[in-house]
Chains A and B, each alone.
Chain A
Amino acid sequence: QVLLVQSGADVKKPGASVTVSCRASGYTVINYYIHWLRQAPGQGLEWMAIVNPNGGETHYAQKFHGKVTTTRDMSTNTLHMELSSLTSEDTAVYYCARDGSYTWSSSRYYFDYWGQGTLVTVSS
C-alpha cells in the first residue's frame, strides 16, 4: 500500500534550520508529485511547495521562496524539506502529501496520500 513515512519531531532554536524527511513506498515514487504543507497549532493548512521527484523540479509558494529548499534521494525514495532561519511562527506540523497526478502530466493539486506529520517546535 502507499505509505509516506516522515521523520520524527524536532525542537530547534530561533535562527536555526530544520530538515523534515518523507520516505515514500508502495508505488513508483518518480511517477507522482509530492507536496509539502504545514499546519500551525490550532490553525488551518498551508501549502508550501510541489516537487517533481522525477528530476527534482520544485515550485514554492511565494511566502516560502528563499526559506524552503527541497532535495531528494531516489536511492531511498526519500524527499527532504529544509526550512531555514526559523522563528516561532514556523512552529507547526509539517506534512508531505502525494499528488493525484502522474509526473508526466500537470499536477491536479489534490493530495491523496499523506505522511503522518512532523512536529517542528521553534523555541529558545
Chain B
Amino acid sequence: QSALTQPPSASGSPGQSVTISCTGSSSDVGTYNSVSWYQQHPGKAPKLMIYEVSKRPSGVPDRFSGSKSGNTASLTVSGLQGEDEADYYCSSYAGSNIVLFGGGTKLTV
C-alpha cells in the first residue's frame, strides 16, 4: 500500500481559510470512513483534530472541519490563527489491519 498524498505545504493569512487535501485510493480513503487528521507542533506528539472523516473531538475548535469526496479527504481550517501553524497529517484505514498516513502538510499562517 502506498502512503496517502498530501501537499507538502499550505499557507494563509490570519482570518482566512485554508484546505489541505489527502488523496488515497479506492482501497483506503475511497472505501473506509476511518479518515482522521492530526496536528503536530514541533517537538510535540500529534493531536487528534478530526476523526471518521468529519467528527471533531471535544475541545477542538469548530474552525476545523473535515470532509471526503471519492478517494480524497480534506481538512479545512477557517479563521486561521497563529497557533494553527503546525504540521498536519491525514490517516486512513486500508483494511486487513493496515493504517496509512500522508506525508504531512506544513501549514504556515
A residues with a Cβ closer than 8 A to B are: 35, 44-47, 50, 59-62, 95, 97, 100, 108-112, 114-117
Q: Which residues of B contact A (CB under 8 A)?
A: 3, 34, 36, 38, 45-48, 51-52, 57, 89, 91, 93, 97-104
Residue in B3, B89, B91, B103 whose beta carbon sits within 8 Å of that of A109 in the complex: B91
Is the Cβ of A110 less than 8 Å from the Cβ of B102? no
Contact of A44 with B45 in the complex, beta carbons under 8 Å: no
- Whether the Cβ atoms of B45 and A110 lie closer than 8 Å is no
On chain A, the residues within 8 Å of B93 by CB distance are 109
Q: Is the interface of A mostly helix, strand, loop or mixed?
A: strand
A97 to B46 CA separation, bound complex (whole angstroms): 10
**Of all chain B residues, which has the CB nearest A116?**
B45
Q: How far is the CA of A99 from the CA of B99 in the complex (A)?
A: 12
Q: A45-B91, A95-B45 are in contact. List 7 more A-B contacts (CB 8 A).
A: A44-B89, A44-B103, A44-B104, A108-B34, A109-B93, A110-B51, A114-B45
A-B contact pairs, 27 of them (CB 8 A): A44-B89, A44-B104, A45-B38, A45-B46, A47-B98, A47-B99, A61-B97, A62-B98, A95-B45, A95-B46, A97-B46, A108-B34, A108-B51, A109-B34, A109-B91, A109-B93, A110-B34, A110-B36, A110-B91, A111-B36, A111-B38, A111-B46, A112-B51, A112-B57, A114-B45, A114-B46, A116-B45
Chain B residues closer than 8 Å to A116, beta-carbon distance: 45
Q: Tell me what chain B mostly uses at the interface: helix, strand, loop, or mixed.
A: strand
Would you give the shortest CB distance from B57 to chain A, in whole angstroms? 6
Distance between Cα atoms of A46 and B34 in the complex (Å): 16
Supposing A44-B101, A61-B98 touch, asked if A100 and B51 sit within 8 A by C-beta, the answer is yes
**Contacting residues, chain B, for A46 (C-beta < 8 A):** 101
Instruction: Point out the residues of chain A lying under 8 angstroms from B103, CB to CB.
Output: 44
Chain B residue at smallest Cβ distance from A100 = B51
| Alpha-carbon gap, A112 to B48, bound state (A) | 6
**B52→A110 contact, CB < 8 A:** yes
Closest 10 CB pairs of A and B: A47-B99, A110-B36, A59-B97, A110-B51, A114-B45, A109-B93, A45-B101, A109-B34, A44-B104, A44-B103
